[in-house]
Structure 1
Amino acid sequence: MRRRSLLALPVLATPAIANAQANWPSRPITLIGGFPNGSGVDIYQRRLAEPLSRALGQPIVVDNRTGAGGNIGSDHVAKARPDGYTFYFGTAGTHAINASLYRTLPFDVVRDFTPIAHLGDVPNLMLVSAERRPQFTDCGTVLAAARANPSRLNFSSTGNGASTHLAGAQFNAAAGVDITHVPFRGQPGAALALLSGDVDLFFNQSGPGIGMVRQGQARALAVTTAERLPSLPDVPTVAEACNLPGFVSTTWYGLFGPANLPAPILERMSAEVTRIVQAPEFRTWLMETQGITPPTVFTPAEFAAIQRQDIARWAEVVRVSGARVD
């Protein structure tokens, strides 16, 4: 009798599981971020949370679990229940670059997650402090100083493995210079180091970087895209400004859930997020204030394909640059 009851349990539980999925969401949802307040990730996820909360009829709680290039936040979501109440605002750093940059990870960036939606492509700005480094008027003056003084110049980043790190590493490799990497734990420390003169450069993400430029805090010498940004049309590309043909260093943002996220929840979340980021007002906000190219792929399968391609692409960048984190 006991055996028959145990065997029947999965069958009896199925309607309850199906009902929970049909009624999703019935309580607040947590959106995990891997980077601190004020970072490009934080700016975007908070802007997204408001309309997404209205669409789903439940509060979206933004919870930044920072450290280790976003790996702490990633690990939390990888181990979360796939019930539709924990999601991750991921990046090409957390879900492609880190797979080869870190020697070991406590999770698998593909196996332990469900890709949900691509949220746009993100460039970096090569920033200097006009007050602290007035001699750096363009990329040519930076390169001349770097070549005359190997290892003397430095650049800050928002953490090992972040795009602000890899953009600088790519620049070193492409230009044949040795500008020392100085990692910080997030945007505030990296920006303050630039503005105080503790570092020479900061390859900042476009969202917070544009804010620093428009507020007169920093000067943008170049942008890491193939073409100039509509939001900063007077800022040349690295390829133009630094005479490095073909130089491009862009990453992406994307929404992930834990592995085995139920199909009804995946489809609903993907549809709602896609509708929001395609809205004209949101697209304008992305391009004009964040320098982000809005997404051009809109299904989870398409986003998963981008992630797989970028894991291979960034593995080669990491190999060539020599960047590595233990």
Structure 2
Amino acid sequence: MQRRTLIQGATALLAATALPASLAQGGNWPTGKAITYLVPFPAGGTTDTLGRLIAQKLGTALGTSVVIDNKGGAGGSVGSEIASRAAPDGYTLLGGTISSHAINVSMYPKIGYDPVRSFAPVTLIGTNPVVLVVNQASPYKTLKDVIEASKAKAASGGLSSASAGTGTSQHLSLELLAFKSGVKFTHVPYKGSGPAIQDVIGGQVEMMFDTTVVAAPHIQSGKLRAIAVTSPKRLASMPDVPTVAESGIKGLEDFSVLSWQAIFVPAGTPAPIVDRLHTEIRKILAEPEMQTKLKGFGMEPADMTTAQIAAFQKAEVEKWAQVIKAANIKAE
């Protein structure tokens, strides 16, 4: 019986490792089976916008279809957990962000995945600051206006500010502003940037920090007014919008938040597949048309190896853990 059990165990082990081994040796991938590009946020946000720009071109390059699947919730944690449990066979990609892969692990007691160990990085798409916006009809034109108005409403919780969800870069930008300025704001979390920014446009919420990818078109159309950007320097795409640090408000002299977007696959995905994906996506991002779009969104294109992305992500996890602890930010 013992010998039989050992043989069965060995057979099971060989079966479990057969698929990854064949893939690692350059087996048939992709086979024509559709690749799922999982976006852990609702449609209309930054990660979704970038995913749709990349998916079609990547499908053409690989000779198969790449299908966007939106699984929003908990600042990107719901979709990321789903992706972490997917087969590591190259047929599941994940649009990871500063929220899902650096911030959430310190915001939530249990997120169901490890942002570093559960995934393998493929590509860092780029970085971009967030911009504070208000409705075009809002009386607030500068950050000082916003701060003074929120002080005046301190008894009722200050000005209301939307975000793509608790723990997102939009939320932490607000919390950092409150922490450093000593002014109260009321955080209004949504399940993604799309519905959040629509309520700012509609006047249901007074302001919002959002990525330039999402906010720029609404600023350009005149629906929103840009108050300040969170980058260390002004953006070439928004030269008339001052930085938060330029506001002259005490405590905000070194204020800086840079959001980022990346692509991950489940941990254990064979290296040849990760390398192929990295190469093809880098080619797509290097196209002049894509470079123009990224810069138009206010994004700074990034070019890192997978090893460099892993080191960058680890540093980001540590950085935001310190910020969240110092500001005593709690998940709602």
Instruction: Report the TM-score range of the alignment, normalised by the length of the smaller protein.
Output: over 0.9
Do residues 22 (structure 1) and 27 (structure 2) align? yes
CA contact (8 A) 1:96 1:109 kept: yes
> What one-letter code is carried by the residue in structure 1 that aligns with 2:39?
G
Stretches of structure 2 lacking an aligned partner (at least 5 in a row): none
CA distances 1:205-252 after superposition (whole Å, capped 9, x unpaired): 111100110111000011111111111111111111353211101121
- Secondary structure, in 3 states, of the residue corresponding to 2:300? coil
- Comparing 239-248 with 92-101, greater Cα deviation is found at 239-248
In the other structure, the counterpart of 1:192 is 198
- Return the match for 2:79 from 69, 73, 80: 73
In the other structure, the counterpart of 1:263 is 271
- Return the match for 1:213 from 192, 197, 219: 219
CA distance in 2, matches of 1:116, 1:56: 15
CA distance in 1, matches of 2:294, 2:193: 19
- Return the match for 1:222 from 190, 207, 228: 228
> What one-letter code is carried by the residue in structure 2 that aligns with 1:138?
T
Counterparts in 2 of 1:99 and 1:5: CA distance versus 1, 3 Å: closer
Counterparts in 2 of 1:9 and 1:310: CA distance versus 1, 3 Å: closer
In the other structure, the counterpart of 1:180 is 186
Do residues 130 (structure 1) and 131 (structure 2) align? no
CA distance in 2, matches of 1:99, 1:106: 9
Counterparts in 2 of 1:268 and 1:152: CA distance versus 1, 3 Å: same
> What one-letter code is carried by the residue in structure 2 that aligns with 1:191?
I
- Return the match for 2:299 from 292, 296, 302: 292
C-alpha displacement of 1:195: 2.1
Do residues 40 (structure 1) and 35 (structure 2) align? no
Counterparts in 2 of 1:88 and 1:15: CA distance versus 1, 3 Å: closer
In the other structure, the counterpart of 2:99 is 93
CA contact (8 A) 1:103 1:324 kept: no
In the other structure, the counterpart of 2:282 is 274
CA distance in 1, matches of 2:322, 2:131: 22
Identity %: 36
In the other structure, the counterpart of 2:149 is 145
CA distance in 2, matches of 1:11, 1:197: 60
In the other structure, the counterpart of 2:111 is 105
> What one-letter code is carried by the residue in structure 2 that aligns with 1:148?
A
CA distance in 2, matches of 1:259, 1:4: 28
CA contact (8 A) 1:170 1:249 kept: no
CA distance in 2, matches of 1:16, 1:99: 31
CA distance in 2, matches of 1:47, 1:164: 22
> What one-letter code is carried by the residue in structure 2 that aligns with 1:265?
I
C-alpha displacement of 1:97: 0.2
CA distance in 2, matches of 1:24, 1:230: 41
C-alpha displacement of 1:147: 2.2
C-alpha displacement of 1:282: 1.2
CA contact (8 A) 2:20 2:270 kept: no
> What one-letter code is carried by the residue in structure 2 that aligns with 1:264?
P
C-alpha displacement of 1:5: 8.0
- Comparing 140-149 with 11-20, greater Cα deviation is found at 11-20
In the other structure, the counterpart of 1:115 is 121
- Comparing 174-183 with 239-248, greater Cα deviation is found at 239-248
CA distance in 2, matches of 1:168, 1:46: 28
CA distances 1:71-106 after superposition (whole Å, capped 9, x unpaired): 110011111110110110000100000010112211
- Pairing of 1:160-179 with structure 2 (within 5 A): 160-179=166-185
Counterparts in 2 of 1:159 and 1:15: CA distance versus 1, 3 Å: closer
CA contact (8 A) 1:153 1:200 kept: yes
Provide TM-score, normalisation by structure 2.
0.91
Counterparts in 2 of 1:105 and 1:12: CA distance versus 1, 3 Å: closer
CA distance in 1, matches of 2:255, 2:208: 17
CA contact (8 A) 2:151 2:158 kept: no
> What one-letter code is carried by the residue in structure 2 that aligns with 1:177?
V
Runs of 4+, deviation exceeding 4 Å: 1-21
Length, aligned pairs only: 322
- Secondary structure, in 3 states, of the residue corresponding to 2:237? coil
- Secondary structure, in 3 states, of the residue corresponding to 2:329? coil
> What one-letter code is carried by the residue in structure 2 that aligns with 1:65?
K
